[in-house]
Structure 1
């Protein structure tokens, strides 16, 4: 009982130091992973954060606004992880392209609830300039890596086409993986081999086009 009380007191102290927004996002992230985007309420998030049910509305207009903020935060993490994995390999290499895909799949497997939320929550997304820009920034990471491999400018159509084909392939694989829909044969395939094979096939085709 005392441990629970101490935890609540710590969370309340965190709120009074101005960290309520971050605390709520952390709590909702945990709830989405455990129960899905429909499995929580703002009131439940406030209770877990140790604040009043009215407190969240100082930072978020409503439930959708809170979820959009969660998606925005997730896009920042995904973008950073994609860039980090790319930079582990020489610029312009096939491995750099595969590294981006590896980060994407790892993110999906590590945070499947958030990953589904990012691509399943559509309410307000078309009108949210920030989310649109962050989504485009993630895609441009792939475009730039493809352009470097192909030896073309980022505005070359071959880079955009390659990036789109790679993204759809890796995106589909990521969802099949977290939904356990892979066939037995594909489950035994090394993730890196898959990424290198797909990347080589798509990029080689663009070089010959």
Structure 2
């Protein structure tokens, strides 16, 4: 089935429709195009038509895969949360479970993600409208938080649903989340000294999980 793929002609420079669809996974390519546009223009400034153009399809093609603009943004956020989870989960692998270094490494992955893709990071944590209709976003957020919870539980030799474990994990998340936003907003320079991410994260890890 064709998704109205467009191509630039080699002779006249015009855009002409292809008769066959050779574009691969258009849904994934549209998500990638919107992700790039969100980084450049923000979640309120991107155009679905521009995303379609970048993906090489007609402006109507995205609506064969997404209900509307909001659904596209939710899918971009969901894909980003999957990547954030993978980065957080992998970051602690070189260190013993529950160690200060493992917890700091998880935080470093979080901060690095925010710095590398500040527009998408803001989208993920600013996209509140419609979340009641997208429980998968809440589930993905819980999964990211679960990475922190698992290490705190190991550190404290307690079950993951222990109230103290959840409280300590939330405190750690809050420190790292706040630092990430301060960093991408360039507000961390206001403290009058250069903040080294790893030194900061290790200090937080040791202070919160002092045992």
Q: How does 1:1-209 map to 2 (within 5 A)?
A: 16-183=22-189, 185=191, 188-204=194-210
Count of matched residue pairs: 200
Q: Which one is further off, 112-121 or 43-52?
A: 43-52
Offset from partner CA, 1:6-25 (integer Å, 9 cap, x none): 8x99xx79963441101101
Relative to structure 1, is the Cα distance of residues 165 and 16 closer, same or farther in structure 2, using a 3 angstrom cutoff? same
Q: Any gaps of 5 or more consecutive residues in structure 1?
A: none
Higher helix proportion: 1
Relative to structure 1, is the Cα distance of residues 81 and 57 closer, same or farther in structure 2, using a 3 angstrom cutoff? same
Q: CA deviation at 1:126?
A: 2.3
Ranges of 4+ aligned residues in structure 1 off by more than 6 Å: none
Q: Any gaps of 5 or more consecutive residues in structure 2?
A: 1-7
TM-score, structure 1 normalization: 0.88
Offset from partner CA, 1:143-179 (integer Å, 9 cap, x none): 1111111111111111100110010111000000000
State how far apart, in whole Å, the 2-side matches of 1:59 and 1:96 are.
39
Q: CA deviation at 1:186?
A: 6.3
Indicate the RMSD between aligned Cα atoms, in angstroms.
Answer: 2.3
State how far apart, in whole Å, the 2-side matches of 1:15 and 1:23 are.
14
Q: Which one is further off, 15-24 or 151-160?
A: 15-24
State how far apart, in whole Å, the 1-side matches of 2:125 and 2:19 are.
34
Q: CA deviation at 1:183?
A: 3.0
**SS of 1:70's equivalent?**
helix
State how far apart, in whole Å, the 2-side matches of 1:189 and 1:50 are.
43
State how far apart, in whole Å, the 2-side matches of 1:112 and 1:174 are.
9
Relative to structure 1, is the Cα distance of residues 52 and 100 closer, same or farther in structure 2, using a 3 angstrom cutoff? same
State how far apart, in whole Å, the 2-side matches of 1:120 and 1:48 are.
25
